[in-house]
Amino acid sequence: MSARVAPAADPAAIAEAATILRNGGIVAFPTETVYGLGANALDVRAVARVFEAKARPSFDPLIVHLAGAGDLSTVADGRDPRVARLAARFWPGPLTLVLPRRPAVPDLVTSGLDTVGVRVPDHPAAHALLAAAQVPVAAPSANLFGYVSPTTAAHVVEQLGDAVDLVLDGGPCRVGVESTVLSLAGGAPRLLRPGGVAREDLERALGVTLEVAPPAERPLAPGQLLQHYATRTPLRLLNGRPPDLTSPGRVGLLAFTPTPARGYVAVEVLATDGSPVTAAARLFAALRRLDALGLELILAEPCPETGLGLAILDRLRRAAARGA
């Protein structure tokens, strides 16, 4: 048996998905970043099913998704004035705020931390689902633990199949990389994961400079585990433009912009326009296509480290760390 898939634009499908969530089931749904695998965040048994479906270690905390910033107080303490400022500027959108949590949130969602990650997704189907379910929805990316995040419903079905009660198909995700995770819990803001909101935009809104917290400083964001977002095929991140290959081999190329490089079995170009925004939207699907070819190696060309380029490089470095 394989997963049931329904069009995310169909109000009947949204109503059914909301009922499933309210009854303790799990639903994969599109967001502007990647597909999420959702459960009622206040229902421990439902959340446990999400971990089971993903084969995810339970020490990795989940992001809680809300229909609007007005629902924040159920799950988090949002009294910090920076919360209102950031919410007004970036929600709905690809920004996750890590805030002090409320007691209603089960330990399984936060993996026992005294903080919770929350965001308001910017996608009509995600919004409709959250509004109809009337519960906060804990949702990690809808992939097997450690693998590349899904940006289409087909990606979800391939990996999670009938472990999910319903998959809402909203087409390809617009942003294509996961949300930026920013911690406001305890003093200076800390960038735990670069993502769909550019660091530069956050810096402007907060009036501070932000460094990406090094792994040692973010033991509490295990989504930052090195070797996350990895393909099964070994991947190496190049230092510059792709070389011509001279020795024969089954090598694929993930190029940032069009390239004359020769000798590759397959080439995926992420951005003919040179924009990291375009590249981010295509990144995970391109990695999955290359990974399906049974290659010996994938070489990846770096992109500029500005805007969404920071998130792309972060994902590629992690993919490259696998087996390194």
Contact residues toward ligand TXA (CB under 6 A) are: 31, 33-34, 36, 60-63, 94, 96, 98, 110, 113, 115-117, 121, 139-141, 178-179, 181, 192-193, 220-224
Nearer to ligand TXA, 120 or 251 (CB): 120
Smallest separation (angstroms) from ligand TXA to the CB of 102: 12
Q: Cβ neighbours of residue 177 under 8 Å, at least 6 residues apart? A: 33, 34, 94, 149, 195, 196, 280, 283, 284, 308, 311, 312, 315
Nearer to ligand TXA, 166 or 255 (CB): 166
Nearer to ligand TXA, 93 or 242 (CB): 93
Nearer to ligand TXA, 295 or 318 (CB): 318
Q: Which does 115 bind (CB under 5 to 8 A by kind): ligand TXA, Mg ion, none?
A: ligand TXA
> Are 63 and 75 contacting, i.e. CB atoms less than 8 angstroms apart?
no
> Residue type at 304?
P
141 binds Mg ion (CB under 5 A): yes
Angle subtended at Cα 317 by Cα 176 and Cα 201, rounded to the nearest 5 degrees? 50
> Are 323 and 233 contacting, i.e. CB atoms less than 8 angstroms apart?
no
Q: Which does 106 bind (CB under 5 to 8 A by kind): ligand TXA, Mg ion, none?
A: none
Residue nearest to ligand TXA (CB): 223
Q: Is 45 helix (H, G, I), strand (E, B) or coil?
A: helix
Nearer to ligand TXA, 173 or 299 (CB): 173
Smallest separation (angstroms) from Mg ion to the CB of 251: 27
Nearer to Mg ion, 115 or 141 (CB): 141
The closest alpha carbon to 169, from 191, 152, 192, belongs to 152
d(Cα 319, Cα 232) in Å, to the nearest integer?
9
Nearer to Mg ion, 62 or 295 (CB): 62
Q: What share of the chain is helix, strand, coil (3-state, %, to 5)?
A: 35, 20, 50
Smallest separation (angstroms) from ligand TXA to the CB of 3: 17
Count of C-beta atoms within a 10 Å radius of residue 100: 16
Smallest separation (angstroms) from Mg ion to the CB of 297: 24
Smallest separation (angstroms) from ligand TXA to the CB of 193: 5
Looking at the DSSP bridge assignments, the partners of residue 66 are none
Which of these segments, 59-67, 115-123, 135-143, 230-238, binds Mg ion (CB under 5 A)?
135-143
Note the helical H segments in the chain. Answer: 11-22, 44-54, 72-75, 81-90, 107-110, 124-133, 153-160, 199-206, 276-291, 309-321
Which of these segments, 17-25, 140-148, 233-241, 245-253, binds Mg ion (CB under 5 A)?
140-148
Phi, psi dihedrals of residue 133, rounded to the nearest 5°: -70, -30
Q: Which residues would be at the binding site for Mg ion (CB under 5 A)?
A: 141
